[in-house]
Amino acid sequence: MVLSSRKEMRRQRQQESRQRSHLIKAGRIKQIQVFLDKCNYVWLFKLPIARTSCIKSVRQDLVGSRIVIGSNRLTAIALGKDAASEYKKNLHLISMRLVGNVCLLFTNLPLSSVKKYAEEKQVLLYARPGNIATRDVKIPAGPITRGDPPAESPFIMESSFKKLGLPVQCLGGNLFLEKEHTVCLSGQALSVDQANLLKLLQIRLNTFKLDLVCVWNDNKVTEASDVE
């Protein structure tokens, strides 16, 4: 009897969880369609590097616009996956390209303004473990420097560098590397130690930027490269 009651309670909780999930998804779809009714332009852009702080900054810059990120499947449902189900004509052409790290920008800002903003919006970021190195980084033998452009590193950083496996010694209040050290090579996935060392050296390898792909307006989709 007790076992049966527990099973029933578990089944009830699972059912309630599914109902909540359904309501959340339905709410997201409806919200996107409200954006479609209020905004004349829908931009699709790629985010090679996505950081919450950077997305927040874009939202603050583009007042009155809306950014939808995450759950490409739900977003595609809201727009319409094909000509028969699309919310407005030719939106399914946007849905077809919702693959990978992409976002939608719903806005009434002029096309030229958005394109100019995207071209100028770039933020240098520290790489994280697992990110791909965009260039070779090597530390030459001699005084250890930090930053781009570099400045001499204080001797208090000695223990931090040694923990990361660098053969360093403190001479005259400055750190010296005994021999050249390769931090990372271009195209290489960064390890935890490599990412930490790059941050310690104040070297930012990643760049947050908005790679515009295309825009929907007046029931037509235009490639970003064709927007003047």
Reported as a single tens digit per residue, the pLDDT across 88-144 is 999 999 999 999 999 999 999 999 999 999 999 999 999 999 999 999 999 899 888
pLDDT at 7 over 90: no
pLDDT at 148 over 90: no
Task: Indicate if 82 and 161 belong to the same structural domain.
Answer: no
Domain extent, residue 177, equals 137-207
Q: Would you state the pLDDT for residue 157? A: 78
Task: Indicate if 199 and 142 belong to the same structural domain.
Answer: yes
pLDDT at 20 over 70: no
pLDDT band with cut points at 50, 70 and 90 for residue 168: confident
Q: Rounded to 10 degrees, what is the CA torsion of 142, 143, 148, 154?
A: 160
Residue 29 maps to which CATH number? Answer: 3.30.70.1730
Task: Indicate if 110 and 57 belong to the same structural domain.
Answer: yes
Sequence-distant contacts of 7-11: CB under 8 A, at least 24 apart = none
Task: Indicate if 157 and 172 belong to the same structural domain.
Answer: yes
Cross-strand partners of 145:
152
pLDDT more than 90, % of the chain:
63
Other Cβ atoms less than 10 A from the Cβ of 179: the count is: 10
